Amino acid sequence: MVAINEVASGLRFPEGPLAMPDGSVMVVEIARQTITRIAKDGTKSYVATPGGGPNGLAYGPDHALYVTNNGGFVFFEDENGIRVAGQAKDYSGGRIERVDLADGSVTVLTTATGSGFDLRGPNDLVIDRSGAIWFTDLGKRRSRDLDYGGVYWLSPDRRTVREIAHPVLTANGIGLSPDESTLYVADTEGARLWAFDITGPGEIARHGWPSPHGGRLLYSAGGGYHRYDSLAVEANGNICVATLIKGGITVVSPAGELVEFVPMPDHYTTNICFGGPDLRTAYVTLSQTGRLVETRWPRPGLALNFLNR
């Protein structure tokens, strides 16, 4: 186990960490339905209350936060902590939202997929250099059935949504290569990491059969029970995927080779981001036990557009 420092505890299923320039870290608390700022000393303040299920965070060119909202989960709690148990009874629909940091106001940007269907459970997002948003929809799971997930693109002017890939069984984490020529998507069930070759704004090269959606399989975990959650990219192009059940961060090279596995003390290790002056402070959300922790990472993370540069 690597040396970790607890930044904050008592969080209600934290996800979507975003290291801010002032040293604070933004997270969503999915079970509390809030966006929460955690100061350097661990104190918490609420930035906004979108309701539903705020799931992923990104910082935009207009200095606002962008949120993937899954519409709400039902949670199960026991002596081990908290975990997701399906679609909420008061599920409010999937959407992409904008949060004004000045006053905490929340604006719904879209509920559409661009293919005639509504979003079901938007999960994670990344903003490219143009300001466009690439995001995943995990779908929703109920007691007897589930919706397929997918990958989508929202134009810089926020007027156009395009469906990039469908079906993706459970599309979760998403990130861009340093040159923004490749889009990476983590598929939760089966612990698969997919790569999509970007050919233009909201466009990919589609690989044929046996690809189920046009992506190419970059890496698949084996040997044990793994599920993939959100991801972040290192400056050298490695993809760091939060790994559920096994509990830790799986690091995969752009060539599809396992670099290392970094264990964490929580079966629901859900996300990672990079901060600090050299982008070598890794912030990791441990959702089952409701904690945000930090650790010194062996390599710098990739600077995020509009935030770290």
Q: Note the pLDDT of residue 222.
A: 80
Q: Where are the domains of the chain?
A: 5-296
Q: Work out the pLDDT band at 223, boundaries 50, 70, 90.
A: confident
The residue type found at 138 is L
pTM for this model (two decimals): 0.97
Say if residue 296's pLDDT is above 70: yes
- Is residue 1's pLDDT more than 80? no
Q: Position 170: which residue type?
A: T
Average pLDDT of span 106-132: 97
Q: How confident is the model at residue 210 (pLDDT cuts 50, 70, 90)?
A: very high
What is the rounded CA–CA span in Å between residue 177 and residue 195? 10
DSSP-derived secondary structure letter, 117: S
> 5-296 belongs to which homologous superfamily?
TolB, C-terminal domain (2.120.10.30)
Q: What is the pLDDT of residue 224?
A: 85
Q: Quick one: how many helices (H) and strands (E) in the chain?
A: 0, 27
Q: What pLDDT shows up at residue 2?
A: 87
The Cα-based distances of 230 to 42, 241, 243 in angstroms read 23, 6, 8
pLDDT, residue 309, reads 61
**Distance separating the N- and C-terminal Cα atoms of the chain:** 31
Average pLDDT taken over every residue of the chain: 96
- How far apart CA 272 and CA 256 sit, in angstroms, is 19
pLDDT over 80 at 197, yes or no: yes
- State what percent of residues in the chain have pLDDT above 70: 99
Segment 42-97, tens digit of pLDDT: 999 999 999 999 999 999 999 999 999 999 999 999 999 999 999 999 999 999 99
Cis geometry, peptide bond prior to residue 201 (ω within 30 degrees of 0): no
**Whole-number pLDDT of residue 85:** 93
For the cut 90, the answer to whether the pLDDT of residue 205 exceeds it is yes
Q: What is the mean pLDDT of residues 243-270?
A: 97
Identify the pLDDT of residue 108: 98
Q: Are 25 and 19 in contact (CB under 8 A)?
A: yes
pLDDT tens for each residue of 14-51: 999 999 999 999 999 999 999 999 999 999 999 999 99
